[in-house]
Amino acid sequence: MRSLLGVSPVLVLTFGSLFILVAGLWVRNKAFQFWTSMLSLLVAFGLFLGLAEKPAQDLFSGMIAHDGLATFFGAFSVFATAIVLVMSHTSKEIKADRRPEYYSIVLALATGLCFMASANHFLMIYLAIETVSILSYTLAGFKREDGKSVEASLKYVVYGSMASAIMIFGMSLVFGVTGQFTLTGLREFFATPDGASAPLLLWVGVLMTFAGLGYKISAAPMHMWTPDVYEGAPTPVSALLSVAPKAAGLGLLIRFFVVGFGQNLDGSELAVSNLTDPTALGFHVTSAFNWTQFLIISSAFTMFMGNLAALGQTSVKRILAYSSIAHAGYMLMGLTTQTAAGIEAIMFYMVIYCLMNVGAFWVAGKVEDTLGGDDLQHFKGLVQRRPLYAICMAVFLFSLTGLPPLAGFIGKFYLFNAVLGREMYGLALIAGLNSVISLYYYVKIAKAMILEAPQLPFPQGKTPFESRSSQVFIVLLAVPNLILGLYWEPLMNLVRDMLSVFAG
Amino acid sequence: MAGLATYLPAYLIFALLLFSFGLIAALARRSAIGIFMGVELMLNGAALNFVAFQALRKGVIANDSWLHGHIFSLFIIVLAAIEAAVALAIVLRVFGSRQTIDADRADQLRG
């Protein structure tokens, strides 16, 4: 009963998903379908808020953990899904007769995300990742009459199934060496004499598992699917995939490293519950494998791969896809520091990243709905046509670059601060260089919108831009980018509160 | 069962071979169906690994996870079936839109 109460948000989402699937057979009303799915997301979010007060504990005999990290990333995934649901509601890319299935799949995806954020057992990690992956494949191909969308879905399923097969083989090796299935058990194993002299095979297994998790957050070199999928998938789906699975994946990665390998810097066993003690956190580093160096290389490589590949692109959705790879690199930087400050910075950045990235995809989606494409030429002169959208887009783009006084700057500031706190000057320099590179392609979009003359004929009459709810929401996404750039303390305090309740 | 520990290396080598052949097939095959058959082999390698390691550990460790390896392999089989169902549906759509399931020919999205 205690366990069931702990997963009540997920139960609500499951029932919501099934209800819409069945009710959609009879009720063809768009608004009804939208509001019932929204209702189950809101109830789930509310339940998460209620559960946040509870102390950290293991549920279902250690299969999943209930703690601040799980609640934060679970609630955040639900929040991001809700925003994207509004975006889908106003989008033309999701056909009316497929909406019940669409809402049902999106809600089921949210359940997978909540489990990803709280999984503490290899089986749960595998099940949660597969739930999210398999539903994402179908969502990517949701415009099934469009060859591009189908191709995106094919590429996604090819890369995704290979990544998950590699991950599961890695897990089998970890289990073979340690005999442990839970992350908590893994940490206990490292405290024993066996753990201190673990064979290389274990680290091969851990690395393969990391590859599967890195695939979900599109860390290089497992990022190849990202641009193709984001470009081909319907825009609301691209927005969802760029935020929600990435957040849950990072939450899982944080738990994987902290609970599985966390050790005090002096080598004694880490009490995960005092994570916020500023000096407490340091990962297990063996002579066989240097995690710090590995994470630094992985993070720097991811940033460069994303930013350099974005430079020559003309499709805005593709640019945003590469930018999302680069942002995964920035966020991995927080994990590299192996401090509570770094993890706080990731969580803080994730919220801001959601606001700016979904916003940018939102405008790209409206342009695609109206003009039939998302190339730079479709954006030319947007400020003369629809100034509200152009200005909001400029806010999102400059926030993504990290220019003050926008929220993206504060997010990057905390990440850089955590990196400098561990005296990783080289990594900070690389990240700074990458921010400068990224300025080029973000400004390229802004220039096309604001400085260049319109090129393509704009349809007369009512366009998707005129939708009232879309206008309200685009402003609701842009304004926090300005406010959080000046007054961010409440959000940072919330993140700190969440991180102070850690199970394992 | 007692003899299994002696033969464990054979099981592990076989699992590793399954995994490697699957990986090679998935990387080298051009037909999408061939790629998914390769992935299927990789998953079976992992499932065999779980069962073999679990049989080795039976009775050695005194905790409550003495059946988890077997259960894990059952879950792998179920999820492999689900993945195959979704993958084949997608392959069907690809065939419907371009009359080929050659993964090399999926080149509309690039840049």
Instruction: For residue range A213-258, list pLDDT tens digits in order.
Output: 999 999 888 888 999 999 999 999 999 999 999 999 999 999 998 8
Q: How many structural domains is chain A composed of? A: 1
Q: What is the pLDDT of residue A274?
A: 60
Residue A474 corresponds to which amino acid? I
Per-residue model confidence (pLDDT) at position B111? 62
Query: Count of alpha carbons within 13 Å of A195, Cβ hemisphere only?
Result: 21
Q: Which residues pair with A283 in a beta bridge?
A: A262
A205 falls within a domain: yes
**Cα dihedral value A58, A62, A68, A74, nearest 10:** -120
Is-contact A465 A92, C-beta < 8 A? no
Q: What is the pLDDT of residues A395-438, one digit of tens each?
A: 999 999 998 889 999 999 999 999 998 888 999 999 999 999 99
Residues of chain B with Cβ-Cβ distance to A166 below 8 Å are 23, 42
- Are A212 and B87 in contact by the 8 Å Cβ rule? The answer is no
Q: Please state the separation of Cα A355 from the chain's center in Å.
A: 12
d(CA A482, CA A356): 10
pLDDT at A171 over 90: yes
For residues A65 and A67, give the distance between their C-alpha atoms in angstroms, rounded to a whole number.
Answer: 6
3-state secondary structure of A282: strand
Look at residue A14 in the predicted model and tell me its pLDDT: 95
Give the largest CA-CA distance in chain A. Answer: 74
Quick one: pLDDT at residue B90?
93
Buried b (16+ CB within 10 A) or exposed e, A418-450: bbeebebeebbebbeebbebbbebbebbbebbb
For CA atoms A300, A304, A305, A306, give the dihedral sign. positive
pLDDT at A282 over 70: no
Burial, A413: exposed, middle or buried (Cβ in 10 Å; 0-12, 13-18, 19+)? Answer: middle
Do A169 and B19 make contact, defined as CB atoms within 8 angstroms? yes
**Nearest-CA distance B20 → chain A (Å):** 10
Residue A321 inside a domain? The answer is: yes
Mean pLDDT (whole number) for A302-322: 93
Q: Do residue A169 and residue B110 have CB atoms under 8 angstroms apart? A: no
Give the residue, A132 or A424, on which the prediction is more confident. Answer: A132
> Is the residue at A407 inside a domain?
yes
pLDDT at B2 over 90: no
Q: Do A141 and B93 touch (CB under 8 A)?
A: yes
Give Dmax (Cα) for chain B.
Answer: 57
Q: Does residue A468 surpass a pLDDT of 60? A: yes
| Ramachandran bin of A218, using left for φ above 0, alpha for ψ from -120 to 50, beta for the remaining angles | left
Going by pLDDT thresholds of 50, 70 and 90, the confidence category of residue A367 is: very high
Check if the beta carbon of residue A169 is closer than 8 Å to that of residue A207: no
**Residue A179 zone, left/alpha/beta (φ > 0; ψ -120 to 50; rest):** left
Identify which has the larger pLDDT, A496 or A434: A434
B110 has a chain A CB within 8 A of its CB: yes
pLDDT of res. B65: 55
Determine, for residues B43 and A165 on separate chains, whether the beta-carbon distance falls below 8 Å. yes
Residues in chain A with CB shorter than 8 Å from the CB of B90 are 137-138, 141, 150, 153-154, 157
* Nearest-angstrom CA–CA distance, A195 and A177: 9
Mean pLDDT of A6-31: 92
Q: How does residue A333 score in pLDDT terms, banded at 50, 70 and 90?
A: very high
Q: Which residues contact A124 (CB under 8 A, 6 or more apart)?
A: A63, A64, A115
Domain containing A50 equals 2-499
Band of residue A496 on the pLDDT scale cut at 50, 70, 90: confident
Contacts of A217 (CB under 8 A, 6+ apart): A245, A246, A249, A250, A253, A328, A331, A332
Q: What confidence score (pLDDT) does residue A268 get?
A: 65
In a domain, A504, yes or no: no
Question: What value does the mean pLDDT take over residues B50-78?
Answer: 78
Yes or no, beta carbons of B109 and A228 under 8 Å apart: yes
> What's the mean pLDDT when you consider all of chain B?
85
- The amino acid at A75: A
Rounded Cα–Cα distance for residues A238 and A317 (Å): 8
How much of chain A exceeds pLDDT 70, in percent?
95
Q: Which residue has the higher pLDDT, B67 or A152?
A: A152
Residue A83 pLDDT: 94
Confidence check: pLDDT of B88 > 60: yes
Q: Which chain B residues in 34-73 lie under 8 Å from chain A, judged by CB atoms?
A: 35-36, 39, 42-43, 45-47, 49-50, 52-53, 56-57, 60-61, 64-65, 68-69, 71-72
- The predicted structure's pLDDT at residue A71: 92
What is the rounded CA–CA span in Å between residue A416 and residue A331?
10
Provide the percentage of residues in chain A whose pLDDT is more than 90: 60
Q: Which of these, A140, A143, A345, A395, lies nearest to A242 by C-alpha position?
A: A140
Q: Name the residue type at position A159.
A: Y
> In angstroms, what separates the C-alpha of A307 from chain B's closest C-alpha?
14
Asked if the model's pLDDT at residue B66 lies above 80, the reply is no
pLDDT at residue number A126: 95
Dist CA A292 CA A493 (whole Å) = 28
Cα–Cα distances in Å, from B79 out to A365, A486, B85? 33, 47, 10
Give the minimum alpha-carbon distance from B2 to chain A in angstroms, rounded to a whole number: 18
Distance CA A432, CA A73 (A): 27
Instruction: Grade residue A179 by pLDDT with cuts at 50, 70 and 90.
Output: confident
pLDDT at A392: 95
Stated length of chain A = 504
**Domains, chain B, ordered by start:** 8-102 (1.10.287.3510)
Q: What per-residue confidence (pLDDT) applies to B39?
A: 95
Give chain A's radius of gyration (CA, Å): 22
A179 interface with B at CB cutoff 8 Å: yes
For the beta carbon of residue A27, count every other beta carbon within 10 angstroms. 13
User: Residue A17 above 60 pLDDT?
Assistant: yes
Partners of residue A169 in chain B, C-beta under 8 Å:
19, 42, 45-46, 49
- Report whether pLDDT(B4) > 80: no
Higher-scoring residue by pLDDT: A268, A368: A368
* pLDDT value at B81 more than 50: yes
Please judge whether A175 and B98 are an interchain contact, meaning their C-beta atoms are less than 8 angstroms apart: no
Computed over every residue of chain A, the mean pLDDT equals: 89
Q: Is residue A388 part of a domain?
A: yes
Q: Residue B1's pLDDT is what?
A: 46
Residue A142 C-alpha, separation from nearest chain B C-alpha, in angstroms: 10
Beta strands in A346-448 (DSSP E): none
Q: d(Cα B75, Cα A86) in Å, to the nearest integer? A: 35
Average pLDDT over residues A9-28: 93
> Looking at per-residue confidence, does A68 or A136 come out higher?
A136
**pLDDT for residue A281:** 64
pLDDT band at A114 (very low <50, low <70, confident <90, very high): very high
Alpha-carbon distance A272 to A426, whole Å? 29
